[in-house]
A and B are shown apart, each in its own frame.
Chain A
Amino acid sequence: MNETVLELTKIVKRFPSLTANDNVDFDLKKGEVHALLGENGAGKSTLMNIVYGIYKADSGDVKINGKKVEISSPRKAIEYGIGMIQQHFSLVPSFDVTQNVALGLKDLGIIPDLSKVKKQIIEISKKYKISVDPDAKIWQISAGEQQRVEIIKLLYVKSQIMILDEPTAILTPQEAEGLFETIREMTKNGASVIFISHKLKEVLEISDRITVLRHGKVIGSVKTSETDENELAKMMVGREVVIKIEKPPSKASGEILKVDDLHVMNDKGLEAVKGVSFDVRSGEVLGIAGVEGNGQKELSEALYGMRNYRGTVTVEGIRVKPGNVMDRIKHHVAYIPQDRKADALCGGLPIYQNLFIKAFSSPSMRFNPYFFVPERLRSPSLKFIKDYSISASSVDLEAKFLSGGNMQKVVLAREIGNNSPKLIIAVHPTRGLDVGAEEFVYNVLMDQKARGAAILLIAGDLFEIFNLSDRVAVLYEGQIIGYSQPDESHLEEIGLMMAGVKK
C-alpha cells in the first residue's frame, strides 16, 4: 500500500485569465482512494485533465510508478493505465453496452467478436458487483447505469489509476452507495482511485486521503481518519485577504420578498429545493451560504421566474406567478445570474443593445413597439458606460469581447442603473472577477441596500457573505438548515451547517 503509482510535482497551468493550477503537488498510492476536494473553479478538473492528457501543463512533472512520463493525449494516458470518467460521458447513445465497451478496444481485429466482450463484461460485473445489462442500449438506461458502463470500460482495459470527476453529481443516494461499494472492490484488487468532489460527506466516507485545492493551490493534504467535516470546510472555504467595504447598518423595514414552502425540480427532474421558506426585508441583505450544488441554481431561477416551482413567492405582498419572468420585472425585481455569459448577455449583440435588453419589459421604459430604432440607444447607453465605468473601446463592441468584470458591470447597469429595483437577486456576483471589479460590485450592492432595496445574495464564498449580508441562511441539500450571523466568530458553525450538521 505504500507504493506510489502517480506523482505530480509543481504542476502549473495558466489560462489567459487565471492560474488554474499553481505549483500543485499530488501523489497517489497503490490501492488507495485519494480525494481531491475543492469548490467549483478550484482547479480540480484542470489538474486531472492534465493527468489524462487533455491539457498540457505549463510546467511540472508527472511520474508514473516512479518514472517521469510525458502524457500528450488521452491515448497515451490509457497506455499508462490511467482511466478517467468525465462528468459528461463518452458513450454512443444508439449503441448497446457491449458495443460501447468494444469501441475503445484495440486488439479486436477487423471483425470483432462481440460475444467474447460480452462474456468478459458479465464476468467483470459479477466480480465488482456492478449491475449492467450488456444488451441494453445506452439511450435507454439511466445516468447511473451509464456511469457503471464507463466504469466497466475502465475495468475492461485494466486501468490501474482511475479518475472519477464528480461521480455522484448525477446519482441518487442509493446509486452513490453502490458506486462506493464498487470503488472499494476496485481498490481491493489493486487499482487506485482519484475521487474528485466538493461534497464533504462522501469524501469522508470513501477516501483514504484528502487533498484540498483552493484557487488552484493545494491548501493541505490530510488522512481521512485524522480529519473531520469541520476542518475540511474551513480548508475549502478558507481565509483570504479581502477588501474591507463599508457595510451600512441594517435599517430593515417592510418585508419585500416572502418565500413559502418552495419546491423546485432540477433539470434531471429530481427535487433540488425541498420546501424552503424565508423572507427578505427592505434595506436588508440575506446571504444564502452553502456548498455549490445544494439547490442554489434552482432556487434563484425559480425566484426569478425562469423555472417552475410549487409553493408561493410574494413580492411586496403580491403573489407572483411561477415561471413568469415578466411578473418579476413588473414588480422591480433585478436578477444577477451566476453565469452572466450564458444567462444575462447576448454575446453577439453590441454593448448598447445589451444595456437595453429589457427595453420593452421594464416598467420604467417607454418605447414605441412599432417604430423602434435600436441605434438610437447608443447615446443613452453612454451614461451607463460612464456611471458604471465600463471600459470598452466603443458602445458598438460586441459583449462577448468584454472582460468578465466589464460584463458584470453591463449586467449591473442594466439591472440596477435602469430602474430602481425593490429586490435584487444576486448569485455569485463576483465569481471570476478581479479585486477591483469585486469592490465595484460590493459598492453597488451596498448603495442599493442603503437606498432601501432588499437583496438576496447567494454565494459560495463565505467572506463575500460576511462582507455584505445582515443575516446568513445556510442551504444544504435543498433545505435551509439554519440561520447564523455574518461574523467570523460564526465561521465554524456555518461551516458545519454547510456540511449538513444541524445546530
Chain B
Amino acid sequence: MKIRFEKREKKPSKLLIFLASLLSVLIALVFLGFIILSLGDNPLTAYWQLVSWGLGTVPGLIQSLVSMMPLLFTSLGVLIAFKMKLWNIGAEGQFQMGAFAATWGALYLFPHLTNPWFFIPLLMMLGMVAGAFWGFLPGVMRAYLGVNEILSTLMLNYVAIYWVNYLTYGPWKGPHSYNFPVTAQFPQSAIFPQYGVGGLNLGIFISIGMAFFVLYLVRYTKFGFHLNIAGDNLRVGEYAGINVKKMIILVMVMGGAISGLGGMAEMSGVLFRLQPNFSPGYGYTAVIIAWLARLDPIATIIVSFFFGVLLVGSQQLQLFMQIPSSLVNAFNGILLFSLLASEIFLHYKIKWVRS
C-alpha cells in the first residue's frame, strides 16, 4: 500500500476550514494532556484550571482581555503581511520598539506634558512610527535587495529586545527601582484611562477597533484588493500596474505600525514602565493566532481572546498545580504544527493505492 496525495478540485468550504482549525486545537490539547500526565497530574483537572478562572470569573475575564490586547495588536500586524505572502515574524521586535518609543516619549522627550488629550495621541504616534520603522527596514531590503524577510524580521527582533535590555539595565534604569532593571513609572497624563480596578483600559478597545479597521482595509479598499492580487501572484500584480515594490514596503510598514501601537498600549495601558522581558513572546504567538484565524481580522479577535485565556490560565496552573506556565509554549508549538498539517488535508485528498 502506498499513500498518495491528490489535489482537491475545489476550494475547501468555510465549514471544513473551521473544523480543521478546531481539530488542530483538539490535537494540541491531547498532546498537552500527555505532557501533563507525564508530570504526574490529571490532565482534565489541568484543563479545568486552564480555563475556569479566565472565563468563569469577572476578574479573570478582565485579565484575559488584558492579555488579549498585545496578542491582538501583533496578530493584526502580521496578518496584513501574511495576506501578501510576506512572512513577517518581526511583530515581536516591532512591539518592543513601540514600547521603547512610548517610554522615550513619556519619560524623556516630553516629561512636562500634562494634558492627556494631547500626550496620549502623541505617544501612540511615536509607538506606531517606531514599529513602522522596524517594519520598513526589512520591507525595503526585501523590495530592493531581495533579502528574505523571514530572516531580517527575525534578526531585528533580537536587536529590539537587546536594545530594550540595554536601556533598562543601563541608562534608563529608574531612580526608585532598587537597582531592578525597570524604568521610572509613566506620568499619570501618559497612562490610558482605566476602568475599574481589574486592569480594563482603553487599549483593549483600541485593539478591537483596530481589528475592524484592518477588516475594512483588507476587504473594502483598493489597497485590500491589490493586497489580494499581489498576494496571489506577484507578477500579476506588476502586470496590473501595481507598484509591487512600494506595496511590499507599505505592507511591512503598516504591519509594523500596528504592532508598534500594541507595544505602546502595553506600556500606557498595563505596565506603565519599561522592563526587560516584558513580552512573553507575544509577537511569536501572533503568528499562530493569525494562522488559526485564517487571516480573518474578526476571527483574530476571538482567537486572540482564546490565547489570552490560556495565558492567564497557565499562570493559574503554576499557582495551584505547580505546573510550569511555559507549558503554554509547548501547546503553542504543537498547535502550529497541527495547523500546518491541516493545511495539507484541506488542499489535498489522501488516497491509498495498491502498489
Chain A residues with CB under 8 Å of chain B are 304, 306, 325-326, 328-329, 335, 337, 342-349, 353, 357-361, 367, 369-374, 398, 401
The residue in chain B whose Cβ has the minimal distance to the Cβ of A398 is B11
Q: Would you list 17 pairs from A and B whose C-beta atoms are within 8 A, ordered by A residue?
A: A306-B239, A325-B240, A335-B239, A343-B239, A345-B236, A348-B232, A348-B233, A349-B228, A353-B225, A353-B229, A360-B241, A361-B242, A369-B221, A370-B222, A372-B220, A374-B228, A401-B10
Indicate the member of A329, A359, A360, A371 with the most B CB atoms within 10 Å: A360
Task: Determine which of B222, B223, B233, B239 lies in contact with A325 in the assembled complex, contact meaning CB atoms within 8 Å.
Answer: B239
CA distance A344 to B219 in the complex (A): 22
Verify B228–A370 contact, CB threshold 8 A: no
Contact B220 A347 (CB under 8 A): no
Q: Which of B192-251 contact A (CB under 8 A)?
A: 219-226, 228-229, 232-233, 235-236, 238-243
Residues from chain A with Cβ under 8 Å of B236 in the complex:
343-346, 357
Docked CA distance A455–B236 (Å): 22
Q: Nearest chain-A residue to B9 (Cβ)?
A: A401
Residue of A nearest to B236 (CB): A346
Cα A371 to Cα B10 in complex, Å, equals 30
In the bound complex, residues from chain A placing their C-beta under 8 Å from that of B241 are 325-326, 328-329, 358, 360-361
In the complex, the chain B residue whose C-beta lies closest to that of A396 is B11
Q: Are A359 and B239 in contact (CB under 8 A)?
A: no
What's the minimum C-beta distance from B143 to chain A, rounded to whole angstroms? 14
CA A128 to CA B63, docked complex, whole Å: 75
Q: Which residues of B contact A369 (CB under 8 A)?
A: 221-223
Most chain A CB within 10 A, of B223, B239, B243, is at B239
Q: Which 10 A-B pairs have the closest CB atoms?
A: A361-B241, A369-B222, A346-B232, A326-B241, A357-B240, A348-B232, A325-B241, A329-B241, A346-B233, A360-B222
Determine whether the beta carbon of A353 is less than 8 Å from that of B242: no
Collect the chain B residues with CB atoms within 8 Å of residue A367's CB. 222
Instruction: Write the chain A residue with the least CB distance to B235.
Output: A343
Question: Is A346 touching B229 in the complex (CB atoms < 8 A)?
Answer: yes
In the complex with contacts A325-B241, A353-B228, A372-B222 CB distance below 8 A: yes
Contact across chains for A349 and B221 when beta carbons are under 8 A apart: no
Give the A-B contact count at a CB cut-off of 8 A: 73
B238 and A325 form a contact (CB under 8 A): yes
Closest to B217 in A: A370
Of the candidates B9, B223, B229, B243, which one forms a contact with A357 in the assembled complex, judged by CB atoms under 8 Å apart? Answer: B229
CB-CB under 8 A from B224, the residues of chain A are: 372
Beyond the given pairs A306-B239, A357-B239, 9 more chain A to chain B contacts, judged by CB atoms under 8 angstroms and listed by A's residue number, are A325-B241, A326-B241, A342-B233, A347-B232, A353-B229, A357-B240, A369-B221, A370-B221, A401-B9
- Contact indicator A344/B222 (Cβ below 8 Å): no
A369's closest neighbor in chain B, by CB? Answer: B222
Closest residue on chain A to residue B232 by CB atoms: A346
Which has the most chain A C-beta neighbours within 10 Å: B238, B240, B243? Answer: B240
List the B residue with the shortest CB-CB distance to A346. B232
Closest to A368 in B: B222
A349 x B220 contact (CB < 8 A): no
A344 touches B226 (CB 8 A): no
Task: Find chain B residues with CB under 8 A from A374 CB.
Answer: 225, 228
Task: List residues of chain A with CB within 8 A of the CB of B221.
Answer: 369-372
Q: Which residues of B contact A361 (CB under 8 A)?
A: 240-242
Query: Which residues of A sit under 8 angstroms from B222, Cβ to Cβ?
Result: 359-360, 367, 369-370, 372
A347 to B238, CA, bound (A): 15
Chain B interface SS verdict (over half): helix
Q: How far is the CB of A454 from chain B (nearest CB, A)?
A: 20
Q: Please indicate the chain A residues that have their CB under 8 angstroms from the CB of B11 in the complex.
A: 398
**Across the interface, which residues of B come within 8 angstroms of A360, CB to CB?**
222, 225-226, 241
User: Whole-angstrom distance from the CB of B227 to the nearest CB of chain A?
Assistant: 11
Which B residues are CB-close (under 8 A) to A348? Answer: 232-233
Q: Contact check, A359 vs B225: say whether CB atoms are below 8 A apart.
A: yes
Q: How far apart sit A371 and B235, CA to CA, in the bound complex (Å)?
A: 25
Q: In the assembled complex, which residues on chain B have CB atoms less than 8 Å from the CB atom of A337? A: 239
Q: B238 to nearest A CB, angstroms?
A: 6
Provide the residues of chain A in CB contact with B232, threshold 8 Å: 346-349
Q: Which residues of B contact A358 (CB under 8 A)?
A: 240-241
Least Cβ distance of B231 to chain A in Å?
8
Query: Which residues of B (287-310) have their CB < 8 Å from a CB of A?
Result: none
Q: Which of B75-96 contact A (CB under 8 A)?
A: none
Cα distance, A355 to B235, chains bound together (Å): 16
Chain B residues lying within 8 Å of A325, measured Cβ to Cβ, are 238-241
Whether B239 lies near A347 (C-beta < 8 A) is no
- In the assembled complex, the CB of B9 is this many whole angstroms from the nearest CB of chain A, namely 7
Bound Cα distance A344, B240 (Å): 8
User: Which residue of chain A is the closest to B222 with respect to CB atoms?
Assistant: A369
Determine the distance from Cα of A345 to Cα of B222 in the docked complex, in whole angstroms: 18
A343 to chain B: which residues have CB within 8 Å?
A: 235-236, 239
CA distance A372 to B220 in the complex (A): 5
Q: Could you tell me the distance between the alpha carbons of A348 and B233 in the complex, rounded to whole angstroms? A: 9
A313 to B9 CA separation, bound complex (whole angstroms): 44
> How close is A267's CB to chain B, nearest CB, in angstroms?
13
Whether A372 lies near B235 (C-beta < 8 A) is no
Q: How many angstroms between the C-alpha atoms of A359 and B232 in the bound complex?
A: 16
* Alpha-carbon distance A373/B238, docked complex (angstroms): 22
Contact B220 A371 (CB under 8 A): yes
Compute how far the CA of A342 lies from the CA of B234 in the bound complex, rounded to whole angstroms: 9
| Bound-complex Cα distance A344 to B236 (A) | 5
Residues of B within 8 A of A359 (CB): 222, 225
Closest Cβ–Cβ distance, residue A139 to chain B (whole Å): 15
List B contacts of A346 (CB < 8 A).
228-229, 232-233, 236
Question: Closest A-chain residue to B242, C-beta based?
Answer: A361
CA distance A449 to B100 in the complex (A): 63
CA–CA, A346 to B232, complex, Å?
6
| Interfacial chain A residues near B240, Cβ < 8 Å | 325, 357-358, 361
Residues of A within 8 A of B243 (CB): 326
Cα A357 to Cα B11 in complex, Å, equals 20
A372 vs chain B, min Cβ distance (A): 6
User: In the assembled complex, which residues on chain B have CB atoms less than 8 Å from the CB atom of A370?
Assistant: 221-222
Interface residues of B in 116-142 (CB under 8 A from A): none
Distance in angstroms between the alpha carbons of A437 and B42 in the assembled complex: 66
* A interface footprint on B25-43 (CB within 8 Å = 1, 0 otherwise): 0000000000000000000
- Which residues of A lie under 8 Å from residue B229 when comparing CB positions? 346, 349, 353, 357
| Distance to closest chain A CB from B67 (angstroms) | 34
Q: Per-position contact with A for B48-70: 1 when CB-CB < 8 Å, else 0?
A: 00000000000000000000000
Whole-angstrom distance between the Cβ of A424 and the nearest chain B Cβ: 14
- Give chain B nearest CB distance to A5 CB in angstroms: 31
B235 neighbours in A (Cβ, 8 Å) = 306, 342-343
| Known A346-B233, A360-B225: A373·B239 in contact at CB below 8 Å | no
CB neighbours of B225 from chain A (8 A): 353, 359-360, 372, 374
Write the chain B residue with the least CB distance to A374: B225
The answer for the CA separation of A374 and B232 in the assembled complex, in Å, is 15
Q: Complex formed: what's the CA distance from A325 to B9 in Å? A: 34
- Cα-based distance from A361 to B354 in the complex (angstroms): 53
A115 to chain B, nearest CB (A): 36
Q: Which residue of A lies closest to B10 (CB)?
A: A401
